[in-house]
Amino acid sequence: MNRALMFFQDPRVRLMISRAAQTTAVPLSLHHISNWPLQNEGGCEACHYVQEYSQGRETCMQNRLQASRLTLRSTVPVTFSCHLGFSCVSLIALPGEEYVFTFGPYLPDDASAAIEEEVKRAVSLFLDTARPDDKLPFALNDIRRAPAGSVVAAAEWLVEGIADLYERYEWEDQEAPKTQPEERVPEQHIKKKSVFEKRGEEIRLQIAATYLLFGQRAVVRAVLEDCLEEMDDYPRTQPGCLIESISRILDHARFCGGEVDSCVQRFPDFVASIQGLEDRRALLRHASWFFKRISSAKMEEKYGSEFSTMLDRLYNHHVEDLELRDFARQSNLQPATLTRRIEKMTGVKFAELLGRIRVIHAQRLLRRTRLSAAQIAPHVGIRDQSNFTKLFKRYTGITPGRYQQKYNRDK
């Protein structure tokens, strides 16, 4: 199996593709140029109906392959009309490889009101009927209407994310030790992982999701602003960054039992509303409005108001000496019980949660000020610079100095 094919079988990649389809509410497929399907997400009545007829399947395939060959030659997204008259977008899934994503069908906002008549004529052709039927054999209400550029933007965002993940995928492969045989671990000793990777970015969003579920939306806004600030050199990619971040926050909130169904249903409309926005404050306003309907009542009833108070103290009083046993005593819980609750909600134990919150605040200071790591360490509750540097690198992958050099606007 070649490297690209192995990559597309990776669960992280499949999850990213699935999330892109959910985000846009538009069907999405991944094919090799030979027409070999790798992944299909979503669908519509029209497509299902067409696939039942050999001529319909053949026409659909030829239409898609023609667009795929064009996008491979041009290396840019190709918007085309399928044989039924709907819009689709084709683009290269991975630079240098012959895999293609196809988003669609969908209807641009400015699509003709007579689209139903156009579809009837197209259906009559592959059914070889004398004239279009008076009524379509399928509904059109599950085909999404979207701003003309929003699907292309979402497609480009997915491909950028895929390329970034592939870079890290190759790096991980190259860095893996090859000279020593792999040590076998008894199956019963293997700890099952959550679907969330323990990367710094992922944990930061999991922490944000926890604060969201307990009604502390200001923390969520601050974390989203952190994510956008790190993309400051690329303002056009900020909507994509916000979409991905919110998608992961919702995923984790739902994983924790939060009531986020209303947000999930409104997510495609939120995505369409921020396309083309490059102003960070406007993006954050949209995000704040989007999260307004999430209630904290269920979580506070389940975990108690003391849990919410603990979260507030950890985030806003992180400079202080905070101890698990003190919070456990205030909650009338055993430390082990409180630890399990924290780990279930955030994915990490108490000490790591506090450490990561301190690093989140340190990242903000490194981006926004000229303070050195030695000056910042005590500002976030870490008195020893050496410990601060080790902690920062463990959670972000780079040193404070390298982070400041990379993200500080005043460098």
Domain ranges of the chain: 3-165, 198-298, 305-411
In whole angstroms, give the CA distance from residue 73 to residue 71.
5
Instruction: Please check the confidence at residue 5 and state whether its pLDDT lies above 80.
Output: no
Side chain identity, residue 91? L
Residue 23 confidence (pLDDT) above 90:
no
User: Is the pLDDT score of 188 beyond 50?
Assistant: no
Q: 143 pLDDT exceeds 80?
A: yes
Q: Are 214 and 296 in contact, with CB atoms under 8 Å apart?
A: yes
Percent of the chain with pLDDT over 90: 36
Residue whose tokens read 């696939």: 51
d(CA 9, CA 26): 22
pLDDT band at 197 (very low <50, low <70, confident <90, very high): very low
- The answer to whether the peptide bond before residue 105 is cis (omega within 30 degrees of 0) is yes
**What is the structure's pLDDT at 261?**
83
Going by the DSSP 8-state scheme, the letter that residue 102 receives in this structure is E
Within 13 A of 388's CA, how many CA atoms are on the CB side? Answer: 24
Query: Phi/psi at 40 (nearest 5 deg)?
Result: -130, 135
Mean pLDDT of 185-192: 36
For residue 177, the model assigns a pLDDT of 42
Its pTM surpasses 0.75: no
pLDDT of residue 53: 80
Model confidence pLDDT, tens digit, residues 25-74 = 889 999 888 777 888 898 888 888 888 887 778 888 888 888 888 888 87
Predicted confidence band at 291 (pLDDT cuts at 50, 70, 90)?
very high
What's the CA gap between 109 and 165, in Å, rounded? 32
* Statement: 305-411 belongs to CATH 3.90.1570.10: no
Calculate mean pLDDT across residues 119-128. Answer: 72
pLDDT at 127 over 70: no
Give the model confidence (pLDDT) of 66-123 as tens digits.
888 888 887 788 888 887 888 889 999 988 888 999 998 888 876 656 677 778 777 7
Architecture of the domain defined by 3-165: 2-Layer Sandwich (3.30)
Alpha-carbon distance 102 to 67, whole Å?
Answer: 9
230/238 Cα distance (integer angstroms): 9
| pLDDT tier at 189, thresholds 50, 70, 90 | very low
Report percent pLDDT > 70 for the chain.
86
Residue 341: CB atoms within 10 Å: 18
- 3-class DSSP state of 223: helix
Query: Of 94-98, 239-243, 288-292, 303-307, which gets the smallest average pLDDT?
Result: 239-243
CA distance 222 to 243: 15
* Segment 310-326 mean pLDDT: 95
Local confidence band at 175 (pLDDT 50, 70, 90 cut-offs): very low
> Is residue 262's pLDDT more than 70?
yes
Secondary structure in 3-state letters for 367-381: HHCCCCHHHHHHHCC
Share the mean pLDDT of the chain.
82
Average pLDDT for 267-288: 86
Torsion over CA: 231, 232, 233, 239 (sign): positive
At 128, the pLDDT band (50, 70, 90 cuts) reads low
The pLDDT of residue 195: 30
Per-residue pLDDT of 227-259, as tens digits, reads 999 877 666 678 878 887 888 898 889 888 888
For residue 114, what pLDDT is reported?
A: 66
